[in-house]
Chains A and B, each alone.
Chain A
Amino acid sequence: MIAPVSITGIGKCVPEKVVTNDDLAQLVETSDEWISKRTGIRARHVAVEETAIELAVSAANSALTMSGESPADVGVIVACTITAEELTPSLAGRVQRALNIPVCAAMDVSAGCTGFVYALVTAASLMDTLNKDVAIVVASEVMSKYCDWTDRSTCVLFGDGAGAVVLKRSEVAHLLHPILSATPDVDDVIVVKKEARNTPFTGEVEAKRESIRMKGADVFTYAVGVMENTLNELSARCGDHPIDKIVPHQANEKIIDFVIRTMKFRREQFFVNIANYANTSSASIPIALCEAMESGWLNAGDRVAIVGFGSGLTSGGAVIDWTITNKKENK
């Protein structure tokens, strides 16, 4: 069971440095046209000084501030990351310390780019199990540290950033119909070895260390299949109260375009911000949710589906009845 909750705060944080496709064309044989045509990506934020922990703390702090909850109210922190600097303690533990949260349950989940969906459902489940009223869910990734910056087929795809939400127990459930799934990755379709590396922006690039390895065609086939299945299942579960909007994992615009073409959703129902962020792995959905709300695209009363897929091979989705009013928009 998951507790009946609503999202009462949301925040994001991205590194200051923006790396454009033209910048990457100075490093590897590529071009803005080649990258943008194949992926929809035009730029990405890359951490130079910032760490995954710092990005997570900043995003979580913004979400907590928006929610109006005090640190002492937080009963659960669930973080997700595949790129945090420390194997232990957990990223959640670091967020707890930085935000002066005295006592709570704190743990990380690892589910690749689906991490935020897993973390969201895990947090709501723990709120029910532990009888807690407030949770922080935070995703933070510094994918740039794990890219092979000599491999033009992968280094152009990723970016860094963090996003977070605060869940508050509510009388009516606003987080609905969670779906979590995984299929054995028998062909090592997406693998990231745990070995941080330099980037062209932090030091000398070492070419032959282990880094992100991906089989693009297999990932595409898996991604479009699970996105269709998850959205179909969420739609069926929603019954007479259909999904208004969709915030998908931002991996490649071609994946999103395919799903739009083959399903009964309209393009304007999808929020896509991959052009400015690239694939930030588990952070992509909360960053997109936050930007969607800040831009006025996502409003209180909207029924929004989130859907993700990633290494594992994992997939997941959920429906959120959005309750936060964009105060900036209404001023």
Chain B
Amino acid sequence: MQEKIIASLMTQLDLDRDAITMESRFIEDFSMDSLDMVEMLINLEKETGIKVPVEEVGDIHTVGELVKHLEGKQ
């Protein structure tokens, strides 16, 4: 799951692998806005088959927190 999320973010945000850690924050470190978050969730749904409504990620701020959230829905 972790690698799928990282691969998805690399493509979406045009980032190198090294730029993404479990502590990376979506807003502060990647300058993502609400539509970027929606795009990320759509990409992850295509990749993993797990649907995450955007309202569920209100308290998710880091890559690590998202990994945990998605693993919990598997």
Please list the residues of chain A having a beta carbon within 8 angstroms of any beta carbon in chain B. 37-38, 216-217, 220-221, 224, 252, 254, 258, 261-262
Does B11 contact A38, Cβ atoms closer than 8 Å? no
Does B33 contact A38, Cβ atoms closer than 8 Å? yes
Closest to B39 in A: A258
Min Cβ gap B55→A in Å is 9
Residues of A within 8 A of B38 (CB): 217, 220-221
Q: In the complex, what distance in Å separates the CA atom of A252 from the CA atom of B38?
A: 14
Residues of A within 8 A of B54 (CB): 217, 221
Residues of A within 8 A of B36 (CB): 254
Residues of B within 8 A of A217 (CB): 34-35, 37-38, 54
Q: In the complex, what distance in Å separates the CA atom of A216 from the CA atom of B42?
A: 14
Does A254 contact B11, Cβ atoms closer than 8 Å? no
- Which interface class (under 10, 10 to 19, 20 to 34, 35 or more) fits B? 10 to 19
The residue from A37, A38, A221, A252 contacting B42, defined by CB atoms under 8 A apart: A221
**A258-B39, A261-B12 are known contacts; what are 11 more A-B pairs with Cβ within 8 Å?**
A38-B33, A38-B35, A216-B34, A217-B37, A217-B54, A220-B35, A221-B38, A221-B42, A221-B54, A254-B36, A258-B42
Q: Is the interface of B mostly helix, strand, loop or mixed?
A: helix
A-facing residues in B37-68 (Cβ within 8 Å): 37-39, 42-43, 46, 54
Residues of B within 8 A of A37 (CB): 33
Residues of B within 8 A of A221 (CB): 38, 42, 54
Encoded as 1 (CB less than 8 Å from any A CB) or 0, chain B from 15 to 49 comes to 00000000000000000011111110011001000
Residues of B within 8 A of A220 (CB): 35, 38-39
Closest to B31 in A: A37
Min Cβ gap A232→B in Å is 14
Q: In the complex, what distance in Å separates the CA atom of A331 from the CA atom of B3?
A: 55
Q: In the complex, what distance in Å separates the CA atom of A252 from the CA atom of B34?
A: 13
Residues of B within 8 A of A38 (CB): 33, 35
Min Cβ gap B40→A in Å is 11
Does A252 contact B35, Cβ atoms closer than 8 Å? yes
Q: In the complex, what distance in Å separates the CA atom of A221 from the CA atom of B42?
A: 7
Q: In the complex, what distance in Å separates the CA atom of A254 from the CA atom of B12?
A: 11
Known: A221-B42, A224-B42. A216 touches B35 (CB 8 A): yes
Min Cβ gap B45→A in Å is 10
A-B residue pairs in contact (CB < 8 Å), sample of 11:
A216-B35, A217-B35, A220-B39, A221-B38, A221-B42, A254-B35, A254-B39, A258-B39, A261-B12, A262-B43, A262-B46
Residues of A within 8 A of B46 (CB): 262
Residues of A within 8 A of B43 (CB): 262
Most buried by A among B12, B33, B35, B46: B35
7 A-B pairs with least C-beta separation = A217-B54, A217-B38, A220-B38, A254-B35, A220-B35, A38-B33, A258-B39
